[in-house]
């Protein structure tokens, strides 16, 4: 079933419009309506993430365990946020490198902050948070 379409008009600065359609072309969006729909959807997702939405996901990090006190620092961050850290899987990749997958669940902003702290710890070579919203709003 097709969603009902609504047409609306907007007023916008011509330079802003030109830049916007330049970006839309770069992304290969076929027309103005598609470009605007894509940007609106992205803004809605971002808004949900910044609010009280609950997310669940994993933080994946790669690091050298020989690096002084790095393992302790990473463990300490996880203990500081034990309510949001569900489980950790540690894989010894090779002689030097470790891969850790940390399952997390909680308020989007908090989970993002924990991920930033882990990924931003000096000595972490690579890191990424992958998450989805659960559909729950936390008060």
Which residues sit at the interface with Ni ion, rule CB under 5 A? 65, 92, 98
Rounded-to-integer distance, Cα 12 and Cα 31, Å: 17
Q: Which DSSP category does 69 fall into?
A: T
Nearer to Ni ion, 97 or 133 (CB): 97
Shortest gap between Cβ of 87 and Ni ion (angstroms)? 16
Shortest gap between Cβ of 104 and Ni ion (angstroms)? 20
Rounded-to-integer distance, Cα 98 and Cα 66, Å: 10
Check: CB of residue 106 under 8 Å from CB of residue 49: no
Shortest gap between Cβ of 74 and Ni ion (angstroms)? 11
Nearer to Ni ion, 65 or 105 (CB): 65
């Amino acid at each position: 079933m097709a969603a009902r379409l609504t047409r609306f008009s907007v007023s916008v600065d011509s330079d802003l419009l030109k830049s916007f359609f330049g970006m839309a072309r770069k992304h290969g969006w076929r027309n103005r309506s598609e470009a605007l729909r894509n940007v609106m959807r992205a803004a809605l997702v971002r808004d949900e993430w910044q609010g009280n939405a609950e997310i669940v996901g994993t933080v994946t990090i790669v690091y050298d365990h020989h690096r002084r006190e790095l393992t302790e620092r990473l463990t300490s961050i996880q203990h500081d946020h034990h309510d949001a850290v569900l489980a950790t899987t540690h894989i010894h990749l090779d002689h030097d490198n470790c891969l850790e997958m940390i399952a997390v669940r909680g308020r989007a902003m908090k989970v993002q902050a924990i991920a930033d702290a882990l990924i931003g710890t000096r000595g972490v070579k690579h890191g990424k948070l992958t998450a989805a919203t659960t559909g729950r709003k936390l008060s």
